[in-house]
């Protein structure tokens, strides 16, 4: 493999995460024990002899400030606690598959005292159980992350719209340690192998084998480390295109990074109720009155049928009773017998398109 300089990643100082829930605590002594978060995402196994005296240990969910972080982050307390024997920190990535990318480059990271996250990789990986583990001798703030990524991993495009897909890396990586970090800083905190995490840089071309497109649209190479995707001029309803990057790797096998593009052909509505995560519905224009449209949800997605009277412009709109306002009527599905409900002002409409 031709020699190529490693990507230079400038370590990025990040704020400390803030609490997102209650701390689960347990007293564990010299005999060892286990502890896990409320949601079961992270668990700690402390072996016999790791602690010299009974210690109250805890797991607290916090905001994930790791720029490459995936899912929730957790604070293990007492923060900075050292152990005489390595403990095992296990993280479940169940339900996070769409954000994982390449499992072989997935690993754990912790935030150092200077605010910089350090990617340490994994001591073991269980694809069946969807768990990844790392053996450490300290408690810190921990996060799941992937050191390489496509940006974006997922995007929604209109017909004929373009999107650049980039291959990025968040840590330094040499040819022999793409999958396993081997370097170590003897003067660093806790003196364990790993790489500082920083703003992403283009993935070195030595790791890139080929780009492929499966589905409608066209793919044009911008350079070796990025491609431009263009959605087709028209689709029947909606369509999906998958863009894959096959990697050159230091071990045998086929390793792919994927980006999924959803092409929105018909009109659509994103509806958020009481600040909840927006849900996207297909919306077919029923009629047009001046600059106003009446749109419907013909497939009864989301638990019922709705009829929306909409002003016509893109943007976010609250619902009101004004003559020129945006109105939303919702008819729940059986067994609810009520015919129609007018919802205002607890609903909010996100970007809308009428075809």
- Highest mean pLDDT of the ranges 58-62, 122-126, 343-347: 58-62
Contact 47, 87 (CB under 8 A): yes
Find, among 59, 82, 63, 79, the residue nearest to 71 by Cα: 63
**What is the model's pLDDT at position 75?**
97
Burial class from Cβ neighbours inside 10 Å (0-12, 13-18, 19+) for residue 127 reads exposed
Contact 179, 250 (CB under 8 A): yes
**Gap between the Cα atoms of 61 and 76, Å rounded:** 9
**What is the model's pLDDT at position 234?**
83
Contact 211, 219 (CB under 8 A): yes
**What is the model's pLDDT at position 185?**
55
Is residue 166 pLDDT above 90, yes or no? yes
Average pLDDT score over residue span 154-172 = 90
**What is the model's pLDDT at position 217?**
94
Of 22-26, 50-54, 226-230, 327-331, the one with minimum mean pLDDT is 327-331
Mind listing the pLDDT tens digit for each residue in 119-141? 998 888 888 899 999 999 999 99
Is residue 211 pLDDT above 90, yes or no? yes
More confident position, 144 or 4 = 144
Tokens at 172, concatenated: 């330094």
Residue 97 belongs to what H/E stretch?
A: helix 97-100
Is residue 309 pLDDT above 70, yes or no? no
Average pLDDT score over residue span 236-264 = 87
**What is the model's pLDDT at position 312?**
52
Of 24-33, 88-97, 106-115, 329-338, the one with minimum mean pLDDT is 329-338
Of 48-57, 198-207, 280-289, the one with minimum mean pLDDT is 280-289
**What is the model's pLDDT at position 173?**
83
- pLDDT band of residue 197 (cuts 50, 70, 90) is very high
Phi and psi for 321 in degrees, rounded to 5?
-95, 0
**What is the model's pLDDT at position 352?**
38
**What is the model's pLDDT at position 231?**
93
Mind listing the pLDDT tens digit for each residue in 252-299? 889 999 999 988 765 556 666 666 666 665 555 555 555 455 555 555
Is residue 351 pLDDT above 50, yes or no? no
Mean pLDDT rounded to a whole number for the chain: 79
Radius of gyration of the chain (CA): 25
**What is the model's pLDDT at position 345?**
36
**What is the model's pLDDT at position 100?**
79
**What is the model's pLDDT at position 297?**
54
Q: Give me the domains of the chain, ranges plus CATH numbers.
A: 24-146 (2.60.220.30), 150-171+198-262 (2.60.40.10), 268-349 (no CATH)
**Gap between the Cα atoms of 286 and 141, Å rounded:** 52
Of 74-83, 277-286, 330-339, the one with minimum mean pLDDT is 330-339
Contact 219, 227 (CB under 8 A): yes
**Gap between the Cα atoms of 49 and 159, Å rounded:** 62
């Amino acid at each position: 493999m031709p020699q190529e300089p490693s990507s230079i990643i400038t370590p990025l100082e990040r704020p400390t995460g803030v609490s997102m829930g209650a701390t689960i605590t347990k007293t564990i002594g010299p005999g060892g024990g286990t502890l896990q978060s409320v949601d079961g995402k992270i668990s700690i196994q402390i072996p016999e002899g790791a602690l010299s005296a009974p210690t109250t240990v805890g797991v607290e969910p916090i905001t994930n400030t790791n720029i490459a972080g995936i899912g929730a982050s957790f604070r293990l307390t007492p923060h900075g606690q050292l152990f005489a024997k390595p403990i095992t920190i296990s993280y479940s990535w169940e339900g996070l598959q769409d954000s994982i990318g390449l499992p072989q480059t997935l690993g754990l990271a912790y935030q150092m005292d200077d605010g910089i996250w350090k990617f340490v990789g994994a001591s073991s990986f269980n694809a069946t159980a969807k768990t990844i583990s790392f053996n450490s001798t300290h408690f810190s703030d921990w996060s799941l992350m992937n050191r390489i990524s496509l940006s974006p991993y997922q995007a929604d495009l209109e017909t004929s719209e373009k999107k650049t897909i980039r291959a990025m890396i968040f840590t330094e990586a040499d040819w022999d340690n793409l999958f396993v970090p081997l370097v170590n800083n003897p003067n660093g905190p806790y003196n364990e192998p790993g790489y500082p995490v920083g703003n992403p840089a283009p993935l070195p071309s030595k790791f890139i084998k080929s780009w492929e497109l499966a589905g409608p649209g066209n793919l044009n190479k911008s350079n070796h480390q990025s491609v431009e995707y263009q959605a087709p001029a028209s689709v029947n309803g909606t369509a999906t295109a998958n863009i894959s990057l096959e990697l050159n790797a230091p071990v045998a096998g086929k390793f792919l990074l994927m980006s999924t593009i959803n092409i929105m052909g018909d009109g659509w509505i994103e509806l958020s109720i009481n600040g909840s995560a927006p849900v996207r519905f297909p919306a077919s224009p029923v009629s047009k009155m001046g600059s106003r449209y009446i749109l419907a949800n013909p497939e009864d997605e989301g638990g019922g049928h709705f009829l929306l009277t909409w002003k016509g412009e893109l943007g976010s709109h609250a619902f009101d009773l004004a003559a020129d306002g945006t109105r939303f009527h919702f008819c729940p599905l059986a067994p609810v017998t009520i015919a129609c409900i007018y919802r205002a002002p607890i609903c909010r409409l996100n970007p809308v398109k009428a075809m």
